[in-house]
Amino acid sequence: MIYSIVPMTKKHIPEVAQIEQDTFPIPWSAEMFDNELRHDYTVYFVAENITDKSVLGYAGMWHIVNEGQIANIAVRDDARGQGIGTSLINRLIRTARQREMMGLTLEVSINNRNAQRLYTKLGFKPEGIRKGYYETGEDAIIMWVYLRCV
């Protein structure tokens, strides 16, 4: 599947919200994504299928002072295993470097081994635990990647 990573716009929100709903037990709403796009401290990208312009995945982060907080990332079920998540995170990392952020952080479910492997492959390292972080009661691992900004 051929895709491109492009900035998220309002037109992407319905598909992003559907992927969110299909992926997470307590998903963000379309309104929440719409609100995210209104702020200049947020950065969101989608992986868009070149052929039909459908959204295959999305990722977003908040730029807070000199660091980035990855807010969410998900890939459509039928598009997993094709490097889309890696491409999205690499785009966030590239953007963080351009904005001279010192690093990126995220929380990942202690039970989500696939995501943990992906983040580790991309240079993130576990640095702590947030007990009961998710509304489901699950703990989260706090992971960081530190960047050398030029």
DSSP lists the bridge partners of residue 129 as 141
Q: Which of 20, 107, 134, 146 is catalytic?
A: 107
Is 44 among the catalytic positions?
no
How far CA 36 is from CA of 87, 128, 138, in Å, comes to 21, 27, 25
d(CA 47, CA 45): 7
Question: Which one from 119, 127, 133, 146 is the annotated catalytic residue?
Answer: 119
The yes-or-no answer on residue 48 being catalytic is no
Catalytic residues: 107, 119
